[in-house]
Structure 1
Amino acid sequence: MSLFSWLLPRKTPVLSLDQQQRLLQLPPAPGLGEASLRSQRWVVVDLETSGLNLNRDQVLSIGAMVIEDGAIDLGQAFERTLLRTHNPLNPSVLLHGLGPEAIAAGCDPADALLDFMTFVGDSPLLAFHAPFDQHMLGRALKDSLGYRLQHPFMDVAALAPLLCPHADVRDAGLDHWVRHFNLQVEDRHNASADALATAELALILFSRARAQHLDNPLALQQRLNQWQRRKQMHSF
């Protein structure tokens, strides 16, 4: 890669007329509001990627579950594997199991991402280690659709230690919190299973939030921001 290649403008994605129309029909993303946590529709997302490099690796699959009316709605579930023609084998395949055959049989990335954003609608998103998923999803949407992701993301990995300060699992992964709350998770390390585990954890955390008088998404995010700022100040 040239030293100055990052200065070059991005190529505009070539979309079919149908894809362009679908893109225009996507609803705008509102910010977090003051409706109750229970009444808010949430989309819990998990991505499987070709690796952990934020600028080079690709989204391989998307799994998502919906929390609505205070429960996981198993009737609303999303899963897509994305077709990637240039996807060298990576050690991450040992975790998510998406080998060359599965990737070669995947959906066109533009269609898969349009399907997902239609599924999301105007709902906020939840993810475990959300900054990674937010960045990777945002880059995929920009590269494949020229779409700027503006939906708010809330990080379940950060909410857990905030709302459970006495749990001895700080800076832990999803598996640690699953074990801490004795959640029955039959499968892990594929996008849909991880999204379901994250959704189950989120419901527990929302219950803890309400007990601490944090009963709407905006108040919960504001408390999380304050807590993270205090952590940063104490780290210096």
Structure 2
Amino acid sequence: MSLFSWLRPASLALPADLQQRLEHLPAAAALSECSLREQRWVVLDLETTGLNLNKDRVLSIGAVVIEDGAIDFRQQFERTLQYPQVKLGPSVLIHGIGPSAIAAGSDPAQALLELMEYIGDSPVLAFHAPFDQHMLGRALKDHLGCKLQHPFLDVADIAPLLCPQAHIREAGLDDWIDWFKLEVFERHHASADALATAELALILFSRARQQQIHSPLNLQQRLSQWKRRRQAPSF
């Protein structure tokens, strides 16, 4: 994939230093046949002003890295985005990001560029990934004028695929945390939720290997097959 297919036509007047860094971002890599352990993964969580895919904004970003089969606690990412005027909805009661935290946050273009440098060419894991993927893609388009191309895998789908005996297909992150008896001391905070998702992902990767799923590409293929079977009409 070329750089020019990654970038959209310039529609934003970014500062020269940000534009230069943007142009040097690596292209997203397709899922490969390397082992699940060898793959570097970025586990992402977003806190937003609400759940409207077209109107709400990203308020906070948390991410951790899984590398060499473990969470690398030296590589953690957390940013709160600064907006001069933002309307906060009922979600503030959940994530607790108030006006003072937003006012003290980072410039959105700067924070998002730092996130994409952090992600590099790695695939992304998230819980309910389509939401995070869409919201991040919108933010990148709005603030950097670029298109999100990285593959996302949804831990909310991986878990019931690999653990059908749990019978909690439509479960939330808390349900899977409880089912695996994970010790999680904080929730509804982007970096804490990213860490909890990463811990769950490591358990699921172990289950995947037991089920002869050994690579990111193989995992994506099995997920696609599983989704098609779920969507197929029953007679």
Length-normalised TM-score, structure 1? 0.94
Counterpart Cα distance in 2 of 1:14 and 1:50: 26
How far does the alpha carbon of each residue in 1:150-195 deviate from its partner, in whole angstroms, 9 at most, with x for none?
0000000000000001012221000000000000001000000000
Q: CA deviation at 1:65?
A: 0.5
Q: CA deviation at 1:89?
A: 2.3
Q: Which amino acid aligns with 1:102?
A: A
Q: CA deviation at 1:85?
A: 1.9
Query: Who is 1:221 aligned against?
Result: 220
Query: Who is 1:154 aligned against?
Result: 153
Gaps of 5+ in 1: 1-9
How far does the alpha carbon of each residue in 1:9-34 deviate from its partner, in whole angstroms, 9 at most, with x for none?
x9922200001001001000111000
In the alignment, is the contact (CA less than 8 A) between 2:10 and 2:145 conserved in 1? no
Number of residue pairs aligned between Structure 1 and Structure 2: 227
Query: Who is 1:31 aligned against?
Result: 30
CA RMSD of aligned residues (A): 1.3
How far does the alpha carbon of each residue in 1:29-64 deviate from its partner, in whole angstroms, 9 at most, with x for none?
111000000000000000000000000000001000
| Percent of aligned pairs with the same amino acid | 68
Query: Who is 1:4 aligned against?
Result: none
Q: Which amino acid aligns with 1:197?
A: A
1:231/1:192 Cα in 2 relative to 1: closer, same or farther (>3 Å)?
same
How far does the alpha carbon of each residue in 1:49-92 deviate from its partner, in whole angstroms, 9 at most, with x for none?
00000000000010000000000010100000000122112100
1:155/1:146 Cα in 2 relative to 1: closer, same or farther (>3 Å)?
same
Gaps of 5+ in 2: 1-8
1:235/1:96 Cα in 2 relative to 1: closer, same or farther (>3 Å)?
farther
Length-normalised TM-score, structure 2? 0.94
Taking the TM superposition and a 5 Å limit, the aligned residue runs for 1:10-29 are 12-29=11-28
